Amino acid sequence: MRILVTGSGLLGSCMGLSYGKAHETTATYNRHPISIDGCGTEKLDICDAGAVEKIVSLTKPDIVFHTAANVDVDYCESHHEEAHAINAEGAANVAKACEKSGAMLVYISSDFVFDGKAGNYSEKDKINPINYYGQTKLEGEKAAMRECPDALIVRTSIYGLNPHGRNSFATWVTSSLSSGREIKVFNDMYFTPILTNSLAGILLSMAKSGASGIYNVAGVSSISKYDLALKVADAHGLDKNLIKPNSWRDAEFKAPRPVDVSLDCSKARSKFPGFLDYDESLKLMRSLSDGGYLKSFTIK
Ligand SMILES: NC(=O)c1ccc[n+]([C@@H]2O[C@H](COP(=O)([O-])OP(=O)(O)OC[C@H]3O[C@@H](n4cnc5c(N)ncnc54)[C@H](OP(=O)(O)O)[C@@H]3O)[C@@H](O)[C@H]2O)c1
């Protein structure tokens, strides 16, 4: 099978490495060149529709995992045009190229399509993004479904090891605590993040089975950021006393944040294996880190 992964950031790099072990896989980068063991890499700007079509006809993928996006929530809030061009129009370009070539599209969406007032959202719940990033991810979903009616749309929240050195939630906790830095973590903001390595495995099974439509694929239960930080500390044997609870109400964000974006993943969990609880997945993240996972990537 041939696989194309757009983007090679936190999630795309993990998919490239994981899928490249058994399938002919290409991952793309735009501004941050990378090489990934066992996976080809190509430059691509998804805002350039011709370039998207060219890479799809060059790599002839059976499945395209579209992870490329601008995920900086505060940046998107003050750069609407750019955010829209990448997250909405870029997604449309990828979807059009998939439809034209017959490739299956897996569009990676976000828990930020919800307003965070209720939490425990199912695939049927009302979408209502409260910041521009969430708005553009929703527009990307709509473009994917419009251009590629059989697309698989995955709403998620992620953490993991990032070869580019940018922190995700868990690595922010480990790097802070390892250097003895006290951190303040919200005990009243809830989410359901999943380890990128688990997500990559589940999504490949879903794609191979021909799943289509909207699925939540995320952590198995709602957890506050503070409680997850404590679990991260436990999994890494780090000092939990450095983690102090605080409230999102005391924080100042440029873009508003939804307070409870936990996702109900029972639809996906009833059909697909591979979901780990937080203790299991943090243990896996630690063993990957200790086992030299990041040595599989070279930042050029
Ligand atoms: N991170 C999260 O917490 C989170 C939560 C929910 C959903 N998601 C979704 O998961 C997906 C992956 O997120 P991530 O955390 O892996 O993001 P990331 O680490 O920031 O990586 C984003 C990737 O997109 C590429 N990209 C950006 N603009 C591009 C453009 N114009 N053309 C082509 N590629 C472009 C970047 O390439 P260069 O760096 O080379 O420019 C990078 O490889 C996104 O769709 C995001 O919306 C993420």
Ligand 1 atom nearest to CA at 133: 47
Please state the three-class secondary structure of 175-191 as a single string: HHHHCCCCEEEECCCEE
The torsion of the CA quartet 214, 219, 221, 225, rounded to 10 degrees, works out to -120
What pLDDT score was predicted for residue 168? Answer: 87
Residue 167, ligand 1, Cβ within 6 A: no
What pLDDT score was predicted for residue 81? Answer: 98
Residue 137, ligand 1, Cβ within 6 A: yes
What pLDDT score was predicted for residue 76? Answer: 98
| DSSP run (H or E) holding 234 | helix 225-236
What pLDDT score was predicted for residue 221? Answer: 98
Residue 200, ligand 1, Cβ within 6 A: no
| pLDDT string in tens for the chain (300-residue length) | 999 999 999 999 999 999 999 999 999 999 999 999 999 999 999 999 999 999 999 999 999 999 999 999 999 999 999 999 999 999 999 999 999 999 999 999 999 999 999 999 999 999 999 999 999 999 999 999 999 999 999 999 999 999 999 988 999 999 999 999 999 999 999 999 999 999 999 999 999 999 999 999 999 999 999 999 999 999 999 999 999 999 999 999 999 999 999 999 999 999 999 999 999 999 999 999 999 999 999 998
Residue 88, ligand 1, Cβ within 6 A: no
Show me where the domains of the chain are located. 2-299
Residue nearest to atom 1 of ligand 1 (CA): 158
User: Is 3.40.50.720 the CATH number for 2-299?
Assistant: yes
Ligand 1 atom nearest to CA at 68: 24
In angstroms, the CA 36 to CA 155 distance is 25
Please state the three-class secondary structure of 97-139 as a single string: HHHHHCCEEEEEEEHHHCCCCCCCECCCCCCCCCCHHHHHHHH
Residue 45, ligand 1, Cβ within 6 A: yes
* CA 1–ligand 1 middle distance (angstroms): 24
| Nearest residue to 23 (alpha-carbon basis) of 5, 46, 42, 44 | 5
Helix axes 90-101, 49-59, angle to 10 degrees: 40
In angstroms, the CA 158 to CA 14 distance is 12
Number of H helices, E strands in the chain: 11, 15
* CA 241–ligand 1 middle distance (angstroms): 33
Residue 91, ligand 1, Cβ within 6 A: no
Ligand 1 atom nearest to CA at 66: 45
Residue 8, ligand 1, Cβ within 6 A: yes
Ligand 1 atom nearest to CA at 12: 16
Residue 70, ligand 1, Cβ within 6 A: yes
